[in-house]
């Protein structure tokens, strides 16, 4: 390597996304002192919103379960199949049970307790993440989750603070209901994360910014997952998109918008996801997703550095990478 290319290499290595955004891996390493992975699990209970009211406009259930999570597989079987694969590829990592699919708090409390306890009784599992809708959060669910006394996050689908967007997405709940559910969980001491979709058709940049500002102002929200809207086959969204009536973001547009929203996101909110994970390309009805997530992350990183963006710089809590990394001097300014 020549002197110039060595300098270039070091310079690139120093421009880490983690120095500008409070990423999930930074949060986990800081909290647990080692790398932590999530094991995706299913309760096996189909989402009632989909089975009873047709579901969200973008939802295609075939896109969110891994093979090992097939209906009928017990939580223990799912873990026994998934964990060796994770350990083989990632080495010695700690593991969190992640009930991600469907609506993971739908079902009787007894059944949920059984499923969650099956996960937590596995010797490799150190905590639990449960993803759900606001209308399936009750006092009983909160008490159940609080009774486990392990690292735990409840993730709630917020998507947007704009009710016209929630109606468009056919979420079948209002923003006010999500806000109430977040408060209920937060007041009970649960660690709350929210899911957001960036690029809901009809939303302006200012609309998205208002949603980010809501998160910043809400003391109970500790984590956020950003998603790009993917148009899957056999969805209502695909029908609309194929009629040509929708304004959909390309990946470069998404990156630019996401990056420019970050200054308004409080610097101590953990960004647990930047792009929709595990896109099922075989199920895509419309839209191009050139490259892969590594490339998108790299493009986001470049955009952020080029434009001097730091999470939370427009809020009272700017992200402080110096708390988590020793060698950031001269990079964060
Ligand atoms: S709440 Fe989730 S699982 Fe249920 S229909 Fe909507 S996207 Fe699908």
- Nearest-CA residue for ligand 1 atom 5 is 55
Cα 102 to ligand 1 centre (Å): 6
Q: Which pLDDT does position 278 carry in this prediction?
A: 73
Q: What is the DSSP letter of 155?
A: E
- Is there an atom of ligand 1 within 6 Å of 50 CB? yes
Average pLDDT along the chain: 90
**What pLDDT score was predicted for residue 330?**
46
What pLDDT is stored for residue 72 in this prediction? 66
Could you tell me which residues come within 8 angstroms of residue 4 by beta carbon, excluding any fewer than 6 positions away? none
pTM listed for this prediction: 0.92
**What whole-number distance in Å separates Cα of residue 123 and Cα of residue 300?**
37
Q: How far, in Å, are 246, 263, 271, 277, 305 from residue 298 at the CA level? A: 28, 19, 16, 16, 11
Q: In this predicted model, what pLDDT tens digit does every residue of 102-152 receive, in sequence order?
A: 899 999 999 999 999 999 999 999 999 999 999 999 999 999 999 999 999
- pLDDT for position 307: 97
Q: What does the DSSP 8-state code read for residue 47?
A: P
pLDDT digits (tens, 9 = 90+) for 40-55: 999 988 899 999 999 9
Q: What is the mean pLDDT of residues 50-62?
A: 91
CB of 102 sitting under 6 A from ligand 1: yes
Does the C-beta of 203 come closer than 6 Å to ligand 1?
no
Note the pLDDT tens digit of each residue in 156-188: 999 999 999 999 999 999 999 999 999 999 999
In contact, 166 and 197? CB cutoff 8 Å: no
Confidence of residue 66 (pLDDT cuts 50, 70, 90): low
* Cα–Cα distance for residue pair 154/195, rounded to 1 Å: 11
Nearest Cα to Cα of residue 216 among 266, 173, 272, 151: 266
| Selection from 141, 129, 76 nearest residue 100 by Cα | 129
Residue, of 277 and 272, whose pLDDT is higher: 272
For residue 328, name the pLDDT band (cuts at 50, 70, 90). Answer: low
Whole-number percent of the chain with pLDDT over 70 = 91
Q: Give 93 Cα–ligand 1 centroid separation in angstroms.
A: 30
- Which atom of ligand 1 approaches the CA of 47 most closely? 4
273 CB near ligand 1 (under 6 Å): no
DSSP characters over 169-183: TT-SS-HHHHHHHHH
222-261 residue pLDDT tens: 999 999 998 998 899 999 988 887 888 999 999 999 999 9
**Mean pLDDT across 23-52:** 92
Q: Report all structural domains of the chain as residue ranges with CATH numbers, in order of start.
A: 19-323 (3.30.750.200)
Q: Is 34 helix (H, G, I), strand (E, B) or coil?
A: coil
- Nearest to 319, CA basis, from 216, 183, 196: 216
Residue, of 331 and 45, whose pLDDT is higher? 45
Question: pLDDT class for 98, splitting at 50, 70, 90?
Answer: very high
Characterize the bridge pairing of strands 231-232 and 284-286: antiparallel
Q: What pLDDT was estimated at residue 166?
A: 98
pLDDT at 304 over 50: yes
Q: How far is the CA of 290 from the centre of ligand 1 (A)?
A: 26
CA of 59 to the centre of ligand 1 (A): 6
**Does residue 27 have a pLDDT over 50?**
yes
């Amino acid at each position: 390597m020549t002197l110039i290319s060595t300098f270039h290499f070091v310079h690139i290595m120093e421009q880490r996304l983690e120095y500008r955004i409070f990423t999930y891996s930074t949060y986990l390493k800081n909290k647990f002192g080692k790398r932590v992975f999530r094991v995706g699990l299913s309760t096996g209970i189909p989402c009632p919103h989909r089975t009873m009211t047709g579901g969200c406009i973008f939802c295609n259930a075939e896109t969110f379960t891994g093979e090992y999570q097939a209906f009928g597989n017990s939580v223990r079987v799912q873990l026994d199949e998934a964990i060796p694969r994770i350990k083989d590829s990632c080495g010695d990592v700690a593991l969190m049970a992640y009930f991600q699919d469907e609506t993971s708090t739908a079902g009787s409390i007894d059944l949920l307790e059984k499923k969650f306890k099956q996960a937590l009784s596995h010797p490799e599992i150190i905590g639990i993440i449960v993803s759900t809708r606001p209308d399936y959060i009750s006092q009983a669910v909160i008490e159940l989750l609080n009774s486990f006394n392990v690292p735990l996050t409840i993730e709630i689908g917020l998507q947007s603070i704009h009710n016209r967007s929630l109606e468009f997405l056919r979420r079948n709940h209002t923003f006010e209901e999500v806000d109430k559910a977040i408060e209920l969980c937060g007041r009970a001491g649960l660690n709350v994360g929210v899911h957001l979709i960036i690029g809901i058709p009809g939303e302006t940049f200012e609309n998205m910014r208002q949603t980010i500002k809501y998160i910043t102002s809400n003391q109970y929200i500790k984590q956020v997952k950003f998603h790009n809207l993917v148009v899957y086959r056999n969805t209502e969204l695909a029908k609309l998109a194929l009629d040509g009536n929708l304004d959909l973001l390309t990946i470069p547009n998404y990156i630019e918008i996401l990056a420019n929203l970050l200054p308004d996101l409080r610097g101590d909110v953990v960004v647990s996801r930047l792009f929709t994970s595990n896109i099922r390309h075989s199920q895509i009805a419309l839209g191009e997703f050139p490259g892969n997530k590594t490339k998108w992350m790299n493009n986001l990183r470049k955009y952020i550095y080029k434009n001097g963006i730091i999470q939370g710089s427009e809020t009272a809590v700017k992200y402080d990478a110096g708390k988590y990394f020793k060698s950031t001097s001269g990079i964060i300014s």
